[in-house]
Amino acid sequence: MTPPNQLLPAEELGRAIFDSKDVKSAVNKGSIPPKVFLEKKGVNELSVDRLHYVSSLATAAAVQTGLRGRPCRGWAKLLQEAAAKNNREVHPDPIEPHQLHHAFIRLPFDPSLEPDKAFDIQYAHALELAMLAQWLQAPEGPAVPSSGS
């Protein structure tokens, strides 16, 4: 299903999780580690999947696995309205051919900000997003779709 160009407040977004330590924390402690929502210093956009619009969670996990070269174990799931709190913006960002469900959360700082100051802002948002998120397990799935499919 092709996602609409506008996100809805109750739309579920998922930040892919690859690290087994993060999964253990999510499963055993019931909390998402903030590092799941951190990018490199100064990067103000976080890639997410619009979970309602993936053809299947197994396929979405396979695509993520193919992009990262390591298994996608699941997602830190939160609603768009939560992701958009505290001056964050959420934008659809479809990527052909297998990530039409892609979006990003933009953090409210200029990427040209001094890296340590940017990191302080990034971490504060990562902590808040992690506190709002819930764990969603990736099912065992199909092979990564080829670019010709």
Per-residue pLDDT tens digits of the chain, which is 149 residues long = 778 899 999 999 999 999 999 999 999 999 999 999 999 999 999 999 999 999 899 999 999 999 999 999 999 999 999 999 999 999 999 999 889 999 999 999 998 999 999 999 999 999 999 999 999 999 974 444 444 44
Per the structure, how many domains does the chain have?
A: 1
146 lies in some domain: no
pLDDT (0 to 100) of residue 111: 87
3 lies in some domain: no
33 lies in some domain: yes
6 lies in some domain: no
Record the pTM. Answer: 0.90
Amino acid letter at 67?
Answer: L
Question: Which residues form the domain of 123?
Answer: 12-137
- For residue 55, what are the CA distances in angstroms to 46, 63, 98, 132, 145? 21, 11, 10, 25, 12
4 lies in some domain: no
2 lies in some domain: no
82 lies in some domain: yes
pLDDT (0 to 100) of residue 147: 44
